[in-house]
Structure 1
């Protein structure tokens, strides 16, 4: 029996024995609602402060709002919410981000970072990173709540309302902290009504890409070009790697220019990180627009852009030798075959030769002798 099933059995027995009573307000989770949002709605429905409700039911041993409960999803909390609101356990578990395991990622890391899940930066009840997004139009609906899809890094638009998602209060630029606000739709810092802010229209290409992503996530398998992925997490691994090489790395700028078709249309990124999950909403929106272009007619357009940018296999594996198979197979077939990449020892021998015959030579002379590869940079930087 899993920890969640054991916790559920304990809660059900406690209610049957009269040691626990179901809540008078028993709202079940809405479609794709986050666990934290569900908990906050239940607290509001009983006119209780979230911290008071959490302490009264679970005690101080389970710190509900001082952690990212959507990410960690404590079994006692999930099972307790299910029992106290008379909700099926499966529906309650569906409010956690860990429920995406097997579809978004192969294995969900509940005690750490997981690909595509944006961090909240929780410290002392405060959120220091904009890991939760929102759609103003969605919050205008009769029952306002926060969606799980809004915690995913590739989610940058609302397909339902055709607008972009926002990750900060437009008035004070603070991250969203609904657990500290009187209402879910208010900014906890400046009390701006998030339902009334303006959100620009979503670019058509970006909206189309996200609609496909949401469909792949829902059904659990994906397709791209002529390739069918029996498990959607394999597709999302490929997309994340494409996104990574477009915004991070020595030749990412060249690749962005080649993919977009011009220098003017190629976006730049100020972030020095290597993870798409830590980019701002604006940067992720620009990045995913590039990803949408790179995935068109896969892999033809990407391969052509990579060749034009000089993005060969040695550059693709520079920071990550172990690539997702779907990406590595394209790199090996189209960006690695047909030429010889010298080993580090051969490049070092060529460097020693140039020292003898051309003292004070530069990196370009070494590249002219052995070709352009990562080993040239590594050996030359050793000196």
Structure 2
């Protein structure tokens, strides 16, 4: 391919986004479809004026990138933007912001071109079933720790060498793009991610697991705005509860209290009040099982936790501005503690 091949309004190869495909996955497929390495392809299209891979482009979704892909593939702009994490605005988080933690979106922890976070998850069985392996948008969602199709845990790193998934770097040091293999290859050790172990879903309580699975299905299949379990208010309350799980009071805490109720063993979390979006999968899944147990019957279970002094009244709304009405009413009901 030469620059002349890319001057026409439409590119020679015009792959459409696959179901729930992530923007960067689509971009990599387009590069390989033209027989080019990813960096070569991006340099030909965008030149040096725009750098793609030194930022979380799935989250930022810059207009110059999405518009170009839309125009050159003949895909409606709305469909192109549907591959970006910004499309979750109003569903998983109230308002998009370009920096800082964004509710329920896994962080990549990028420093230049390096990634220190485990922001891209995957299901090896899904990749194995794909005629051409690709990465899903839902695999960037923090609470989505399971594959509802295969009833298995997701992975957030290479099972062989433990590095974060960076499928766009799979070709590094491997000659031409034709020799690079598929996106289902670890860029560091060449492990075939399709052969990752199929780990059964870790469950502490059948009701909580069912609630969590329904939540995961909503983000995979598309969120129904009329579903009380998946609206933005519920997302915000879940996030507040996940924060409370890392708060301790007088050597007792909500996390340990729920584990005791479920007869489950607590696990060691990274210390401090790290947001759930920066935590590894094993910690997020553990926290989501506990949050799901609360959310499945929120008022009585939160009330009992408060009565057991596992969580303080003033902590329930701490740093939680404009809390959803249903949650505010529940907490307000605890204020008459003498009763």
Using the size of structure 1 for normalisation, the TM-score is 0.76
Does 307-316 or 263-272 show the bigger shift? Answer: 263-272
Question: Does structure 1 conserve the Cα–Cα contact (< 8 Å) formed by 2:20 and 2:138?
Answer: yes
Q: How does 1:1-383 map to 2 (within 5 A)?
A: 19-140=7-128, 141-181=130-170, 182=180, 183-202=182-201, 203=203, 205-206=208-209, 208-215=211-218, 218-223=223-228, 232-250=231-249, 253-262=252-261, 265-271=264-270, 272-317=272-317, 319-320=318-319, 322=321, 324-325=323-324, 326-334=326-334, 336-339=335-338
Question: What count of residue pairs does the alignment treat as equivalent?
Answer: 315
In structure 2, what is the Cα distance between the partners aligned to 1:184 and 1:221? 36
Change (3 A) 1:84 1:70: same
Does 280-289 or 103-112 show the bigger shift? Answer: 103-112
Change (3 A) 1:84 1:284: same
Quote the offset at 1:105 in angstroms: 1.0
Paired position in structure 1 for 2:3: none
Give CA deviations for 1:244-286 in whole Å, capped at 9, x if unaligned: 1123343695322332335961413331233111111000011
Question: Does structure 1 conserve the Cα–Cα contact (< 8 Å) formed by 2:22 and 2:58?
Answer: yes
SS of residue paired to 1:295: helix
SS of residue paired to 1:258: helix
Quote the offset at 1:214 in angstroms: 3.7
Question: Does structure 2 conserve the Cα–Cα contact (< 8 Å) formed by 1:72 and 1:98?
Answer: yes
In structure 2, what is the Cα distance between the partners aligned to 1:55 and 1:174? 27
Measured on the aligned residues, the alpha-carbon RMSD in Å equals 2.3
Quote the offset at 1:305 in angstroms: 2.4
Quote the offset at 1:175 in angstroms: 0.4
Quote the offset at 1:96 in angstroms: 0.5
Quote the offset at 1:66 in angstroms: 1.7
Question: Does structure 2 conserve the Cα–Cα contact (< 8 Å) formed by 1:245 and 1:252?
Answer: no
In structure 1, what is the Cα distance between the partners aligned to 2:280 and 2:113? 22
Change (3 A) 1:293 1:84: same
Change (3 A) 1:133 1:310: closer
Gaps of 5+ in 2: 1-5, 171-179
Using the size of structure 2 for normalisation, the TM-score is 0.86
Give CA deviations for 1:123-163 in whole Å, capped at 9, x if unaligned: 23222210110100111121211111111111100111111
In structure 2, what is the Cα distance between the partners aligned to 1:309 and 1:269? 21
- The structure with higher relative contact order (CA 8 Å, sep 6+) is 2
In structure 2, what is the Cα distance between the partners aligned to 1:82 and 1:39? 11
